[in-house]
Amino acid sequence: DDDDDDDEFAMTPAEQFGAPKAPPGSWASCLRIVHPADVAKENGGAKQVIEMTGNEAALCACHVYFPVANEVFLAVGTAVGLTFAPRDCDGGFVHLYRYLEDGTVTLVHKTPLDGVPGAMCGFKGRLLLGCGNALRLYDFGKKKLLRKVENRNFPNFITTVHASGDRIYVGDVQESFHFVKYKREDLSLIIVADDVQPRHITAALPLDYDTMAGADKFGNVFVARLAQDVSADIEEDPTGGKASGGTLNGAPRKVEHVAQFHVGETVCALTKGTLQAGGLECMLYATLMGTVGALMPFTSRADVDFATHLEMHVRQENPPLLGRDHMAYRSAYFPVKDVVDGDLCEQYVTLPAETQRAIAEEMDRTPAEVMKKLEDLRAKIA
């Protein structure tokens, strides 16, 4: 049998057919410490590489400050023998690393888990961890992390965890965002609000205390917000939401969608930042296909009116080559809401001169003024 296997491999050279694939549940992963200034060097700026052993797949990582130890640690969540269909594993670990003076790390201890760690973040001097459908709060221990609080009432699998103040924002793999309140008095995690849309969250970004930006696996970017009176009600509720039970196993309160846009590719990363010194802060996204894009907030009603009207005119005068309606595309899963397609507006400069002049006259401007306005909007971020 071994000779037959060797003959089979010899008949299928790796150059043509690719390297032989490992069976499901086989993993190799590593922790790489990189210095940003040395990325252009031969080793990619890597100061240290730690290989994970025991068939572990590293899935999430974060920095966490423990007041007991009075230092910042690096926490890494791993799963052993992970398979995706069905999602299962032979256990997992939280590796806790301490930073040394030269910027490298050393392992402090490993905490065993009974599920797949999907996301983690630091929270009030402790570690928040999403393990399967459970949200847990761990404190520092000398031999392993100590579990303090747990909530197992999330629908499927936790993919993102963020925190601000006493509020925790949890993204589920199929059921969108859940707003969770932490009650210090009785050490409890209470789900106080969720979403009515079953979104498959792939990335999340807190914009402010009541607002979350998110992306789902179908290529949609959206912004969900708690209404101001609902947020105040949550903060003032002495029971923390226990008294007002939800309907159909849901939370007692719901978030509202204030913006929605279909990108067309699965967004796997979201962050806030500026692309130039003194530039306008915008929301940056990266997709599975390699696209990097930016969503810029409008700062004046005049800019909103200009971009909305220009989008409307270009949509009519320059329909897609294959005949698909632009509005239907950007509303592929949910109706587009309060987002202007900048890529479509940029097509104004490619239109024939007569069409440009006709659109500009409809907007009470000259073609040069329209192009200047587009350049000014673009220059705000890049």
How large is the angle between the packed helices 353-362 and 367-379, nearest 10 degrees?
80
CB 177 within 8 A of CB 195: yes
pLDDT score of 277 more than 90: no
CB 381 within 8 A of CB 294: yes
Please tell me the predicted confidence (pLDDT) of residue 371. 92
Higher pLDDT, 275 or 201: 201
Token pair for 18: 């690719």
Q: Per-residue pLDDT averaged across 38-51, rounded? A: 79
Higher pLDDT, 107 or 322: 107
Please tell me the predicted confidence (pLDDT) of residue 5. 60
Strands 92-99 vs 71-80: parallel, antiparallel or unpaired: antiparallel
Please tell me the predicted confidence (pLDDT) of residue 59. 93
pLDDT score of 289 more than 80: yes
Percent share of the chain, pLDDT over 90:
52
Please tell me the predicted confidence (pLDDT) of residue 270. 95
Q: Per-residue pLDDT averaged across 350-370, rounded? A: 91
Mean pLDDT, rounded, of the chain: 88
CB 96 within 8 A of CB 79: no
Length of the chain: 382
Cα-Cα-Cα-Cα dihedral sign, residues 63, 148, 70, 49: negative
Please tell me the predicted confidence (pLDDT) of residue 185. 84
Please tell me the predicted confidence (pLDDT) of residue 2. 53
Rounded CA-CA distance 31/43 in Å is 14
Going by C-alpha positions, the residue among 93, 111, 201 that lies closest to residue 156 is 201
Rounded CA-CA distance 88/132 in Å is 10
First vs last C-alpha separation in the chain? 61
pLDDT, tens digit (0-9, with 9 covering 90-100), for 104-114: 899 998 999 99
Please tell me the predicted confidence (pLDDT) of residue 116. 92
Q: Cis peptide leading into 367, omega within 30 of 0?
A: no
pLDDT, tens digit (0-9, with 9 covering 90-100), for 52-94: 888 899 999 999 999 988 889 999 999 999 998 888 888 899 9
- Which residue type does 315 have? R
The pTM for the full model equals 0.88
Rounded CA-CA distance 286/270 in Å is 7
3-state secondary structure the chain: CHHHHHHHHHHCCHHHHCCCCCCCCCCCCEEEEECHHHCCCCCCCEEEEEECCCCEEEEEEEEEEECCCCEEEEEEEEEECCEECCEECCCEEEEEEEECCCCCEEEEEEEEECCCEEEEEEECCEEEEEECCEEEEEECCCCCCEEEEEECCCCCCEEEEEEECCEEEEEECCCCEEEEEEECCCCEEEEEEECCCCCCEEEEEEEECCEEEEEECCCEEEEEECCHHHHHHHHHCCCCCCCCCCCCCCCCEECEEEEEEECCCCEEEEEEECCCCCCCCEEEEEECCCCEEEECCCCCHHHHHHHHHHHHHHHHHCCCCCCCCHHHHHCCCCCCECCCCHHHHHHHHHCCHHHHHHHHHHCCCCHHHHHHHHHHHHHCCC
> Among the listed ranges 3-17, 81-95, 303-317, 321-335, which one has the minimum average pLDDT value?
3-17
Question: How many alpha carbons fall within 13 Å on the CB side of residue 178?
Answer: 34
Question: In this structure, how many other beta carbons lie within 10 angstroms of the beta carbon of residue 214?
Answer: 24
Strand-by-strand arrangement of the 201-208 sheet? 201-208, 211-216, 220-225, 256-262
Higher pLDDT, 125 or 234: 125
Q: How confident is the model at residue 244 (pLDDT cuts 50, 70, 90)?
A: low
pLDDT, tens digit (0-9, with 9 covering 90-100), for 136-194: 999 999 899 999 999 998 999 999 999 998 899 999 999 999 999 988 888 888 898 99
Q: Per-residue pLDDT averaged across 111-138, rounded? A: 92
Percent share of the chain, pLDDT over 70:
94
Q: Per-residue pLDDT averaged across 7-31, rounded? A: 77
Please tell me the predicted confidence (pLDDT) of residue 276. 85
Higher pLDDT, 151 or 13: 151
- Which residue type does 162 have? H
